[in-house]
Amino acid sequence: MALLDKFASTLSIREKLGAAGQDPTSVVIDELISPTEGMVRGRYTILAGTNNYLGLTFDPACVAAGKKAIDELGTGTTGSRMANGSFAAHTALERDLADFFQLPYGMVFSTGYAANLGMLSALVKPGDTVLLDADCHASLYDGCQMSGANLFRFRHNDLSSLEKRLQRLGDEAKNCLLITEGMYSVLGDTAPLAGIVELKNRYGALLLVDEAHSLGVYGENGCGVAEAEGVSGEVDFLVGTFSKSLGAMGGFCVSPHPELELIRYVSRPFIFTASSSPSIIASTREALRQLRARPELRETLWRNANRLYQGLEALGLPLGPQVSPVVAVRLSRDQEPLSRWNRLLNAGVYTNLMIPPASPDGFSYFRCSVSAAHTEEQLEKIISAFASL
C-alpha cells in the first residue's frame, strides 16, 4: 500500500481546508438561479467567481442552439475526430473562429487545457527552447513539460527579463517559442504584447498567446489583448477557451501558419480524446455570434468591472494592478484566508480563493470575476460583503 501513503499529506491539506467551515475546493451550487446567482447550502448566493464574463450561459439563443443540436445530432460524438470523423459543426466552428480573428487557420480542441497541451506538445520538442512568463497558467507549464523542450521562465510581464533571456540564447533564440497570456487569470493584469511582439520579431522567435480570459473582454471586436495592443496579426499561435466568455467548454487555436493544419496529425491531446459534443459546439457557435453582434455586453462588463474595482478600492483594499473583469483582493500575511473566505460565503458572496502555491506571488487572494450579467444591486452586495469583513 506504499503507493497510497502519499495521500496522507493530501488528507491533512483537505482537513485544514475544511477546518474553518466550507472547504473552498468543494463548494456545491445546488441550484442556479441565473448566471450570477445560485443556492449554496440553502443560502441565496451571488456568484462572483464564475469567469462567465459576458453572462451567456443562460442566453436564450445559446440554450436553444444547444438543445437543437442534441435533438438533431445526439448527446455525444463518442469518439475522436481522427478516428471517428468530425461532425460538420466542428469544422464550421473552426471556420467561424478563423473568420472572427481574421486568420486563415483554426483548430478546435475538447478543452482549453487540451488546447495548450495539444499545441505545445506538438510545437516544441526536446532540444527546442521555450521562454515562458513566470505567471502562466498550469496548462501552459504542463504543455511545455509534455513536450520535453528546455523551459526558461522570465519575470512576469517584464520585457527586460525576457530580452535578457533571449540574449543569453544567442543563435538559439531563432528556434525558440515565447509564451504569455493576454489577461492573466489571477490578478487580471494584461501582458505588454506590443513590446513582446517587438522582441520576438527582433530575435526571430515565435509567439504563442493564451487569450483564455481576454476573449470577449479586450479589443475593439472582443478578440483579446493582442487586438487591443494592435498586434493581432503578429501572434503566431493564439489559443483560447470556450469555458469563459463563450459559456461552454472546449478550446481552440488560430494562426496565420498553415502548419496548424498539420498539428492535427501529431498532437496527442487532439488525437486521443473524444471531440466536443454537438450541444457544446452549437452553443459555442451561437455565443461567438452573440459576442460579435452585441458589443454592448462588453460595455456592460467593463462598467461592472469599474464599479466593483472602485467600490473595493474605496474600502482601502489592496487590489490587482489594473481595473479589469478579474478583481483580486490581496490578503496580508497575517490575515487567515480560509475563515475570511467563509465569512464572505456566509454573507452570500462566492469568490474564488487563491492561496499559495496557486497564487502568483505567495499572497492569498479573493478573486472576483465580474460578469456583464451582474446587476448594480448584486455588485453593491458584493462590495458590502467585503466591507463587513
Q: Could you list the residues that contact ligand PMP (CB under 6 A)?
A: 111-113, 116, 137, 139, 181, 185, 210, 212-213, 241, 243, 251
**How far is residue 100's CA from residue 292's CA, in Å, rounded to a whole number?**
8
User: Closest residue to ligand PMP, Cβ-based?
Assistant: 112
105-109 vs 37-40, strand pairing mode = unpaired
Residue (181 or 236) nearer to ligand PMP, CB: 181
Closest CB to ligand PMP among residues 137, 156: 137
Of 57 and 342, the one with the shorter C-beta distance to ligand PMP is: 57
What residue type is assigned to position 33 of the chain? I
Closest CB 111 distance from ligand PMP, rounded Å: 4
Closest alpha carbon to 159 in 202, 111, 192, 131: 192
Cα 307 to Cα 92: distance, rounded to the nearest angstrom: 38
Q: At its nearest, how many Å lie between ligand PMP and the CB of residue 78?
A: 21
Q: How far is the CB of 14 from ligand PMP (least distance, A)?
A: 21
In the complex with ligand PMP, which residue's Cβ is closer, 40 or 186? 186
Shortest distance (Å) from residue 268 CB to ligand PMP: 16
Per the CB < 8 A criterion, the answer to whether 240 and 112 are in contact is: yes
Cα separations in angstroms, 367 against 23, 248, 302: 16, 21, 17
20 Cβ partners below 8 Å, 6+ apart?
336, 338, 339, 341, 342
Q: How far is the CB of 117 from ligand PMP (least distance, A)?
A: 10
Alpha carbons 112 and 182: distance in angstroms, whole number: 14
Closer CB to ligand PMP, residue 137 or residue 374? 137
CB closer to ligand PMP out of 111 and 277: 111
3-state class of 323 per DSSP?
A: coil
d(C-alpha 211, C-alpha 224), whole Å: 6
Q: Which is nearer to ligand PMP, 139 or 255 (CB)?
A: 139
Please state the closest distance from residue 66 (CB atom) to ligand PMP, in A.
17
Sequence-distant (6+) residues with CB within 8 A of 124 are 130, 144, 147, 149, 177
CB of 136 to ligand PMP, least distance (A): 7
